[in-house]
């Protein structure tokens, strides 16, 4: 097997176990309800779907100048990847053996946040590691198949979540789910260690310090029109995140369903992710990242429009199927478009810019959602859905004039 294809499979299977492990503690569907059940503050309920992203994307801007000076990325990724995963083992032990509600709340919120921080230290290095080990024409299918394999495991994970919470309701059940998550992440780490980076040195960026890189970022943005348009689209798209933490909470409320109902939602979400992954990989490898990114946003727009009006389990299963499709089709499109737009020179800094803006917009959306829910309770859901729909429409319109990087202009 040629090295490109071997590395492709290594990234796919490793990523599948990483995502499959995290499906046991699904941040969009499961954790907001858990935090609300522990009487956590509303802002924390709203932040749960993006806590890992906050940790993951926050450090990038402060480490980009260090990552840019590296000639090989794998050693750094192995160190940070170890600590990225072991946080879930620590959370599992707290939930299983320290039943105090405050400690449980800290463990549930702390695991994704700290995992994200350790991963975020080397995130731009991971993106460049992907670029060095997988050719451009295979990257959309790589991102898509990582999601497909992870979602296949996640479908089984939905059944595990449902049966675990039915047999062990409360913190013991959540502790076991965090333990299963860690086991999946440990398998992922073992597989990641088998991926080989090319022997030749990567392009080294000038050894500028943090301050020099920060000062250069406005100039970079104003001289790259496609990047600026993509960032504007991402900034507006982040406001749609105000709705995501409350989808599963509202679903349980509207159906009067028990806690184990969340496992069914996770399973259908993962099934949608599989279908979306197949489509996004095929379309992205042939047409680039813009088309799947726009299609994914249309799926999410459908959810925002219809979710205030459904109240049956079957309807919610269908919406979570669409949610899984839309969310990850967007992810595949964005990851592909991001790497296709960015030049090799200065890539670490540019990735840091994009990641920082993405996390800031996500935080803003979460805080708006939390404030609305705190003020209005269930009555806020229709307004959050309207905000989500509006931000999605605007983000789609902003991206329409962007020329796909693979097209000749």
CB 95 within 8 A of CB 107: yes
Flag the least confident range among 68-72, 173-177, 373-377, 386-390.
68-72
Tokens of 83: 């600590």
Radius of gyration of the chain (CA): 20
Higher pLDDT, 289 or 139: 289
> Is position 198 within any domain?
no
Quote the tokens at residue 209: 């310090």
Q: Where are the beta strands (DSSP E) in 161-255?
A: none
The Cα–Cα gap between 135 and 146 comes to 16
User: Quick check: 73 and 108 in contact, CB under 8 A?
Assistant: no
CA-CA distance, 237 to 393, in Å (whole number)? 9
- Asked whether the CA dihedral 150, 151, 156, 162 is positive or negative, the reply is positive
Closest CA to 242 of 47, 375, 379, 44: 47
Look at residue 202 and tell me if it is in a domain.
no
**pLDDT of 21-70, one tens digit each?**
998 898 888 888 889 888 888 889 888 888 888 887 767 767 766 776 77
pLDDT band at 409 (very low <50, low <70, confident <90, very high): very low
Provide the H-helix boundaries in 288-409.
290-306, 313-341, 347-376, 381-399
Number of domains in the chain: 1
The answer to whether the beta carbons of residues 244 and 385 sit under 8 Å apart is no
Closest CA to 249 of 26, 32, 27, 23: 32
pLDDT in tens, 214-267: 666 677 667 767 778 888 898 899 899 889 889 989 998 888 887 778 888 888
> Percentage of the chain with pLDDT > 90?
29
**Which is more confidently placed, 29 or 12?**
12
Tokens of 178: 């965090």
Confidence of residue 206 (pLDDT cuts 50, 70, 90): low
Q: What is the mean pLDDT of the chain?
A: 84
Among 92-101, 112-121, 150-159, 317-326, which is the least confidently predicted range? 150-159
Give residue 192's pLDDT. Answer: 92
Is 196 within a domain? no
- The predicted structure's pLDDT at residue 202: 59
- Dihedrals phi, psi of 48, to nearest 5 degrees: -55, -40
Q: How far apart are CA 280 and CA 62, in angstroms?
A: 32
- Residue 60 resides in a domain: yes
- What's the pLDDT at 220? 66
- What is the full DSSP assignment across 109-147? HHHHHHHHHHHHHTHHHHHHHHHHHS-GGGHHHHHHHHH
Q: How many CB atoms lie within 10 A of CB 312?
A: 10
Q: How confident is the model at residue 169 (pLDDT cuts 50, 70, 90)?
A: confident
Q: Is residue 405 part of a domain?
A: no
Show the tokens assigned to 217.
Answer: 């970022």
Write the DSSP symbol of residue 24: T
Q: Confidence class of residue 199 from pLDDT cuts 50, 70 and 90?
A: confident
Instruction: Identify the CATH number of the domain in which residue 73 sits.
Output: 1.20.1250.20
Residue 382 domain boundaries: 3-191+220-399
- The per-residue pLDDT for range 141-166, each reduced to its tens digit, is 787 788 788 878 877 777 888 888 88
> How many alpha carbons fall within 13 Å on the CB side of residue 95?
29
Top-confidence residue, 326 or 206: 326
Question: Which residue, among 336, 137, 357, has the nearest Cα to 228 in the 3D structure?
Answer: 357
In a domain, 98, yes or no: yes
pLDDT given at position 344: 64
Strands (E) across 192-330 are located at none
User: Is the residue at 207 inside a domain?
Assistant: no
Average pLDDT over residues 310-319: 92
Q: Judge contact between 293 and 249, C-beta under 8 A.
A: no
In a domain, residue 141? The reply is yes
CB contact set of 266 (below 8 Å; sequence gap of 6+): 23, 26, 29, 30, 154, 157, 158, 161, 162
User: What does the alpha-carbon distance between residue 77 and residue 120 come to, in Å, rounded to a whole number?
Assistant: 10
160 to 21, 60, 179, 320: CA distances (angstroms) = 11, 34, 12, 18
> In the predicted model, what is the mean pLDDT of residues 299-319?
93
């Amino acid at each position: 097997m040629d090295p490109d294809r071997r590395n492709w499979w290594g990234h796919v299977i490793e990523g599948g176990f990483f995502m499959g492990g995290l499906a046991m503690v699904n941040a969009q569907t499961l954790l907001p309800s858990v935090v609300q059940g522990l009487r956590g503050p509303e802002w924390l309920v709203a932040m749960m779907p993006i806590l890992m992203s906050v940790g993951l994307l926050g450090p990038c801007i402060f480490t980009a100048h260090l990552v840019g000076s590296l000639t090989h990325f794998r050693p750094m990724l192995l160190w940070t990847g170890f600590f990225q995963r072991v946080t879930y083992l620590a959370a599992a032990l707290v939930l299983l053996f320290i039943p105090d509600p405050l400690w449980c709340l800290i463990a549930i919120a702390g695991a994704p946040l700290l995992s994200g921080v350790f991963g975020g230290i080397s995130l731009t290095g991971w993106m460049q590691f992907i670029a060095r080990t997988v050719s451009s024409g295979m990257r959309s299918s790589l991102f898509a198949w990582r999601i497909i394999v992870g979602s296949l495991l996640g479908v089984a994970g939905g059944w595990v979540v449902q049966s675990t919470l039915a047999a062990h309701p409360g913190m013991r059940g959540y502790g076991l789910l965090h333990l299963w998550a860690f086991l999946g992440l440990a398998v992922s780490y073992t597989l990641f260690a088998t991926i080989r980076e090319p022997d030749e040195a990567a392009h080294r960026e000038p050894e500028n310090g943090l301050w020099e890189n920060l000062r250069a970022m406005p100039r970079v943005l104003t001289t790259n029109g496609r990047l600026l348009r993509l960032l504007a689209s991402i900034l507006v798209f982040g406001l749609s995140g105000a709705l995501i933490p409350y989808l599963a909470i509202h679903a349980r409320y509207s159906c009067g369903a028990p806690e184990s109902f969340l496992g069914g939602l996770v399973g259908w979400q993962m099934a949608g992710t599989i279908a979306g992954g197949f489509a996004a990989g095929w379309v992205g490898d042939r047409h680039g990242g813009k088309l799947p990114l726009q299609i994914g946003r249309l799926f999410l727009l459908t959810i925002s429009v219809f979710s205030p009006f459904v109240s049956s389990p079957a309807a919610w299963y269908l919406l979570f199927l669409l949610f899984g499709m839309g969310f990850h089709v967007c992810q595949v499109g964005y990851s592909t478009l991001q790497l296709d737009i960015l030049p090799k020179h200065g890539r670490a800094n540019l990735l840091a810019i994009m990641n920082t803006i993405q996390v800031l917009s996500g935080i803003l959306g979460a805080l708006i959602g939390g404030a609305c829910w705190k003020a209005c309770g269930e009555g806020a859901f229709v307004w959050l859905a309207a905000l989500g729909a509006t931000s999605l429409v605007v983000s789609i319109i902003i991206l329409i004039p962007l020329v796909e990087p693979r097209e000749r202009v």
